[in-house]
Amino acid sequence: MSSRHYLDHASSSPLRPEAADAIAGWARSGTYADPGRQHVEGHVVRDAVEHARKDVAALLGARPREVVFTSGGTEAANTACSRVRDGAAAPGPMDVSPAEHAAVRLAARRCGQVVEVGIDGVGRIDLERLEDALVERAGRPRPALVHCQWANHEVGTVQPVAAVVELSHRHGVAVHVDACAALGHVRVDAAELGADLVSVSAHKVGGPPGVGALVVRRPARVAPLLVGGDQERGRRAGMENVPGILAFGAVARALAYAGAIDEAASQARERTDALLAAALAVDGVVAYGDTDDRVPHIVCLGVAGVEAEAVLLGLDQAGVAVHSGSACSSEAFEPSPVLEAMGVDAHRSIRVSVGWSTTDDDVEAFARRFAEVVRRLRDLAPTTA
């Protein structure tokens, strides 16, 4: 295979060496016991899991007992919603913006009534509309939960999470923050933020797929989404994904070193700024989202004159992997609701994202091949609007 350039880290990032070493170490250890069992082998595994929990908690600004390991961000978000569905909070609607990830929007909708809070043209939640949605009215009880992502997964726009938490708490409403797109790219401190629930996923930051966490801060409580055992202090049944948890802990330790996240963010910002400059040099290309107040690893582009899937496939054939919000290039049957709510053309969007393994060569390859692909496609269909 010819040289490939992976620029889709916002979907999933390659496994970090620290994570691979943790998994290999577990495989070589010869200890595969259930950490819930009361024998030496079980205690050894339990000790390893709890050390990983401490590492993840430290990265998230939480206490270890507040961290519930899950199968990923999707399960964590669904578990956050379970506090409403299963009566762990007062019944009421959930406030959700169209910028939220589908895992959040659909989980909230499944639980009952949803009050949609609008977003602006860069994908940022409208605080005035949120405050209006927080007010109890005749025929509509006070919301039971507000969902607010830390940063948007499509365009990278950072949400005013601190203001959302303060405003919601002022009205006596709990907040779930989806930090999956932010973890490892900005400092995530659950205690400082004051959010009641925070969900994250390991594979977005170089951990393995199949493991994530939900931070449940007191006095918030959640009912278990999965039942059948008392694992995770009765908050998530099923034997723990031990190798995944150990790998997540190893990634957390690597990111927790002083300055590690700031250094990675600075490098990512430099590279996405270069990607953005190269793309905007092509006629008919615009940036979606807030190009200044964004997570450093994501940029989203609108390409006039060609369908996004054609650009994605053209880049893929040229050895560059990116993502698109177009329905044709994803598993969904509809284009990105985030981009549609922003009022931009989701059928012509390309998301480019960098990560820990991105090189300058990857950036240069995109800059060179993006212009070539767009020009070739426009030449083939010169009348496409």
Catalytic residues: 328
**In sequence order, what E strands does 228-279 have?**
none
Angle at 185 between CA 326 and CA 301, to 5 degrees: 30
Residues of 226-258 as b/e, b for ≥16 C-beta within 10 angstroms? beeeebbeebbeeebbbbbbbbbbbbbbbbeee
Locate all alpha helices (DSSP H) within 174-259, ordered by sequence.
Answer: 190-193, 231-234, 242-256
| CA–CA dist 212, 201 (Å, integer) | 4
Q: Containing H/E element for 339?
A: helix 337-342
Q: Which two tokens stand for residue 324?
A: 């698109």
* Cα-based torsion angle of the residue sequence 184, 190, 194, 199 in order, rounded to the nearest 10 degrees: 80
232: enclosing H helix or E strand: helix 231-234
Cβ neighbours, 10 Å, residue 135: 10
53 in Cβ contact with 67 (< 8 Å): yes
CB atoms within 10 A of CB 288: 29
Q: Give the chain's largest Cα–Cα span.
A: 72
Q: Which two tokens stand for residue 102?
A: 């589908």
E strand map for the chain: 5-6, 67-70, 94-96, 114-116, 145-149, 174-178, 197-201, 212-216, 285-288, 298-303, 320-321, 349-353
Number of residues that this document lists for the chain: 385
